[in-house]
Structure 1
Amino acid sequence: MNESADNSNPESARRQWQGVPSAGFTDWLAELDISLAVTTYQVGKLLLVGRDTQGEMAISSRSFRRAMGVWTDGDIMWLATAYQVWQFASQFDHKARRAGYDRLFVPRTAYTTGDLDLHDIAVDAAGQPVFVATLFNCLATVSHTQSFAETWRPPFITTLTSEDRCHLNGVAMVEGRAKFATLCHVSDTSRGWKQHRMHGGQLWSIDDSEPVVTGLSMPHSPRWHNGRLWLLNSGVGYLGYVDLALGKFEPVAFVPGYARGLAFVDHYAIVGLSKPREQNRFGGLALDDELAAHNMAPYAGLAVIDTTSGQIVHTLEFTGSIAELYDVAVLRGVRRPIALGLSPDELRYNVWAEADGNRRHWRRTPRK
């Protein structure tokens, strides 16, 4: 595994971690011509997983405090962080191409939101970001004059308040519109959801402002794929889909870890996994019994699931300091992506422009 240096955080050299792929993982990336964006808020990283010119897995990492939801179409990327929402744009760069990269993402726009406990982020048909402001129990978008603009709130939340009453965490987009959301319990009191982690979770219809599925355990990452709504019943450890007519969750595959982050390519689901720990909200759930029943050890990383068989066909395990992930997104047609971080020299001494019909890039040497 090759890992690019991360110069955007002076502590990065002290943080040791490694990505360990299963035998066929990198070949699978090549077969589908994809790479992956993965976030870990625990160590504050955006990880870009691809393959180098020799066909080996390569991971580029950049530091962003509390990196959470990530969305990309391969040219634009949005990232939710501790108190900002970042938009990246893909830039043409001869030096990056000579080094073997085929996509360079540069942070172009930052919206300062303050601490909203941002979770999922997506983009609507108009190109506007839609994100989950979990602390404020609502869906929202960016504002040029305020920290955020609320777009939807569950009707049982009586006021806009920074109390994380229901732990709203996930949003599913359908044809460019926010259509479904996941939450951990119907509660209108501060952190009232925490006493109902086992069976209080629900999937809600945003159009109807009504629950679609109840009795879930800490559900996350609702996603619409090939005409079907999928989600992670995280507290039990299952990937599954929702029978919208019956209002029922249908489990498809058990995954060995606390599942958050879900993306699809063809008939494969890519699930992000974290290690459950007794001292946080991941411990003491039915997931513990399910792991024992399946005789499986939890890990932090990715599980690739063939949704036609329900089998885990590939894995990427993170060892060392990375124990928790949040989100994963697919970059189609991208072999090896890289991103600039927030290093002052990277941002100051790289300049791009379009002039006379050509794209140009200047990389200057920092002054002594």
Structure 2
Amino acid sequence: MNEYSQTPASGYDRNAPHHARAQGLPPMGADTDKPDRLASGETLASVHSAGFPELLRQLGISLLVSTYQAGKLVVLRADGDSVNTHFLDFNTPMGVAADANRIALGTRSEIVEFHNMPAVATRLHDPPRHDAVYLARAGHITGAIDIHEMAWDAQGELWFVNTLFSTLCTRDASHSFVPRWRPAFVSGLAAEDRCHLNGLGMRDGQPRYVTALAQTNTAQGWRDHKHDGGVLIDCANDETLVRGLAMPHSPRWHDGRLWLLESGRGALCCVDEQSRQQREVARLPGFVRGMDLIGKVAFVGLSQLRDKHPFGEIDGERQCGVWAVHLESGRILGLLKFTGAVQEIFAVQAIRGVQFPEIIHDGPLLDTCYALPDAALGDVEN
């Protein structure tokens, strides 16, 4: 069935087993927000399959989507039969890490951290509808290092891909970044984007898998190998697991298996660590980049390709949005497609256990909301 068919199909049945939930798509519906308009006159709008909001509800999540191309962090929230798309302005937002208590966002030269203050929800809407309110709490200046994927480890330390210097990094209070690991084929630190290190996958609470667009050690040397130079690396032992990939991104360890996106082919793949073979699970109509996996569902970001990406292996009209893919069958469970100014996506991150969050980065609310230690609350006078 055509993925954008307006013909009704069997949707996402909450009582059916997972393999029976991938039976084509319901009709498309508009989101609940009126389209925003950029200064250029382009709108920020989307349409989605009818089952997409129900899928978010069934999984108990909301989604964060970063688009550096449009300068937005987009919050996707189920709202009745529609998806509420909430656009927030940031300077070149890319990597995102999020859970019920905190969000970290990598921007052009800063990592911004937000903490959940659920008590603020009563001030946003009457009656309250938000189940989490993330307020800006800290900023760490990194300089313009082209931050890509980010994740917290089991000890609560934030790791991020420093693509400009071809290294994995953490933060401290005194430095722009703290280099912690780089590929063995990169000889040293240099602001040269030598291999386009981009993806970071955690396993057992520690950084374990990375992707790069080529095994090169010269300034932007990866650009000559975009078609088949990509690699998946086990950074625990500096071992290259898979070679010959077309612009790989977003390695993920999930449900005892290793997954990644082969962006140049629009493919979601599963990798067998023993045989080093990859199996294509689904082929999607766009440049795939950004992914989160929950249960048997992968939420995958799709981007329209820019002219300078000379790939011919992505079938049909190239789309931009978030596609929900059933991991066992590869069927499409639902999708949200951006129809306006948003053309490229970097990160897709679920917030588990939070279905209607708000994110406050600036404005008067920050002036009058205070987070105090528990020990100090007893001294607060009304």
TM-score (norm 2): 0.86
Q: What is the Cα deviation at residue 236 of structure 1?
A: 1.1
For residue 101 of structure 1, what is the aligned residue in structure 2? 130
Q: What is the Cα deviation at residue 12 of structure 1?
A: 6.9
For residue 188 of structure 2, what is the aligned residue in structure 1? 159
Q: What is the Cα deviation at residue 348 of structure 1?
A: 2.7
- Cα distance change, pair 356–202 in 1 and its aligned pair in 2 (3 A): closer
Give me the whole-angstrom Cα distance separating, in 2, the residues matched to 1:143 and 1:77: 18
Secondary structure, aligned partner of 2:195: coil
Match of 2:211 among 164, 168, 182: 182
For residue 347 of structure 1, what is the aligned residue in structure 2? 366
Aligned Cα RMSD in Å? 2.3
Per-residue deviation, residues 295-344 of structure 1 (Å, max 9, x unmatched) = x321110010011111112010011110000011111222211101234x
CA contact (8 A) 2:97 2:105 kept: yes
For residue 349 of structure 2, what is the aligned residue in structure 1? 329
- Residue 44 (structure 2) pairs with residue 24 (structure 1): no
Give me the whole-angstrom Cα distance separating, in 1, the residues matched to 2:191 and 2:310: 26
Residue 326 of structure 1 aligns with an amino acid whose one-letter code is F
Give me the whole-angstrom Cα distance separating, in 2, the residues matched to 1:110 and 1:50: 26
Secondary structure, aligned partner of 1:277: coil
Where does structure 1 lack aligned partners over 5 or more consecutive residues? Answer: 362-368
- Residue 32 (structure 2) pairs with residue 2 (structure 1): yes
Moved more, 57-66 or 121-130: 57-66
For residue 71 of structure 1, what is the aligned residue in structure 2? 97
For residue 242 of structure 2, what is the aligned residue in structure 1? 213
Residue 325 of structure 1 aligns with an amino acid whose one-letter code is I
For residue 320 of structure 1, what is the aligned residue in structure 2? 340
Residue 366 of structure 2 aligns with an amino acid whose one-letter code is L
Secondary structure, aligned partner of 1:26: helix
Alignment of 1:1-368 (within 5 A): 1-3=31-33, 16-52=43-79, 54-91=80-117, 92-93=119-120, 94-96=122-124, 98-278=127-307, 280=308, 283-285=309-311, 288-291=312-315, 296-343=316-363, 345-353=364-372
Secondary structure, aligned partner of 2:164: helix
Per-residue deviation, residues 270-316 of structure 1 (Å, max 9, x unmatched) = 000100121x3xx212xx2341xxxx321110010011111112010
Give me the whole-angstrom Cα distance separating, in 2, the residues matched to 1:131 and 1:241: 23
Moved more, 93-102 or 39-48: 93-102
Moved more, 314-323 or 16-25: 16-25
Give me the whole-angstrom Cα distance separating, in 2, the residues matched to 1:311 and 1:72: 27
Q: What is the Cα deviation at residue 5 of structure 1?
A: 10
Q: Name whichever structure is richer in strand by fraction.
A: 1
Q: What is the Cα deviation at residue 359 of structure 1?
A: 10
Per-residue deviation, residues 102-141 of structure 1 (Å, max 9, x unmatched) = 1111111111000110000000111010000000000001
Identity of aligned residues (%): 35
